[in-house]
Structure 1
Amino acid sequence: MSAISSVLRLVSLAVLLAAAAPAAHAQGGGQGLGGGRKGQRLGQLENAKIAFITNRVSLTQEQAQKFWPLYNEFSARRRELNRSGRLLRRDVTEGMTDQQIRDTFNQAFATRQQELNLEKEYFDKFQKVISLRQVAQLFQAERDFTKEVIKRVAGAGGQAAVDTN
């Protein structure tokens, strides 16, 4: 029961932080979350991610006010690059010439390089609002959150991924 109350506290904190950083929602214009249940689930997932990162990185209120708009900007740019990369990988078809396949892969490589450049750029920007150690914790927290989500989805097996113990 204490694990559930901890999660609820983190989600509450996430909702407060999300309200304090309306730039995140304004940037996407509501487009990325979709409508209905899918949008609601993605919103819950985003709130959980905010809480997870805030907890792991130990952001103060002052840091959070400066950090979240910057992180949301970074996330939006990274999401767009990821979308472009997925589209390129999906474009390779049987009817393509070798040169077209080569060009598609070169574009995909360029997109991956842009993703790396973006991470380097924001690595520097993040250090202006949080400590170097917190930046390292941020990148680790992102990986850990993704692993946890994948683990819960895989473990759900079509059932709710809520621990009732």
Structure 2
Amino acid sequence: MKKLVILFLFMAATVQAQDGKHEKIKALKTAYITEALALTPAEAEKFWPIYNSYHDKFHALRVKERNEIFEKLREGLNKLTDAEANDLIDKNLAIESGKVQLRKQMTAELRKVISPKKIISLKKAEDDFKRELFERYRQSHEKRKD
């Protein structure tokens, strides 16, 4: 636990130096997942390069989804032809398939460095982190309104 606190403090200092919201969130997520999975230093050393590599690939898919699908939907569903709608459906299915494929590849690599229970716990930890981050954002946004 002491090592985790030291790691968190180190990351917090690094984040302040970089002064970027994205980097701060990434550091908080790293600490959160490390603690939630109870990663040993040896596991963390092997886990994070794999996780970060796949996180970048997932991010690229989300950007593609935003650029190719959501932008088109913002123009309005009523403006879409059937051919355009079918194209969006196909793009969405391809992106979702890509996400599943990435999850399978990441899981296969993680099986070599952490236990299956920790792999299962990873998805929950990611979801819990997103939920907590959203809740903090919502609370800070409500405070600004007051």
Q: TM-score, normalised by structure 1?
A: 0.72
Equivalent residue, structure 1, for 2:97: 113
Equivalent residue, structure 1, for 2:8: 11
Equivalent residue, structure 2, for 1:89: 70
Equivalent residue, structure 2, for 1:63: 43
Q: Which amino acid aligns with 1:136?
A: I
Residue 50 of structure 2 corresponds to residue 53 of structure 1: no
The RMSD of aligned alpha carbons is 2.5
Q: Which runs of 4+ in 1 moved over 4 A?
A: 7-10, 13-16
**Secondary structure of 1:130's aligned partner:** coil
1:104-157 deviation digits (Å, cap 9, x = unpaired): 221111101110111121111111110001111111100000000011111122
**Secondary structure of 1:91's aligned partner:** helix
1:7-156 to 2 correspondences below 5 Å? 11-12=8-9, 14=11, 40-87=20-67, 88-92=69-73, 93=75, 94-156=78-140
Alpha-carbon distance, 1:15 to partner: 5.8
Gaps of 5+ in 1: 1-6, 19-35, 161-165
Aligned residues: 134
CA contact (8 A) 1:57 1:138 kept: yes
Structure 2 Cα separation of the partners of residues 118 and 48 of structure 1: 23
Q: Alpha carbons of 1:13 and 1:144: their partners in 2 closer, same or farther (altered >3 Å)?
A: farther
Say which structure is richer in helix. Answer: 2
Q: Which amino acid aligns with 1:90?
A: E
Query: Percentage identity across aligned positions?
Result: 25
Q: Which moved more, 1:100-109 or 1:139-148?
A: 100-109
Gaps of 5+ in 2: none
1:9-45 deviation digits (Å, cap 9, x = unpaired): 56325469x9xxxxxxxxxxxxxxxxx86xx111111
Structure 2 Cα separation of the partners of residues 124 and 77 of structure 1: 16
Alpha-carbon distance, 1:82 to partner: 1.0
Q: Alpha carbons of 1:10 and 1:52: their partners in 2 closer, same or farther (altered >3 Å)?
A: farther
CA contact (8 A) 2:12 2:24 kept: no
CA contact (8 A) 1:85 1:108 kept: yes
CA contact (8 A) 1:10 1:52 kept: no
CA contact (8 A) 1:10 1:48 kept: no
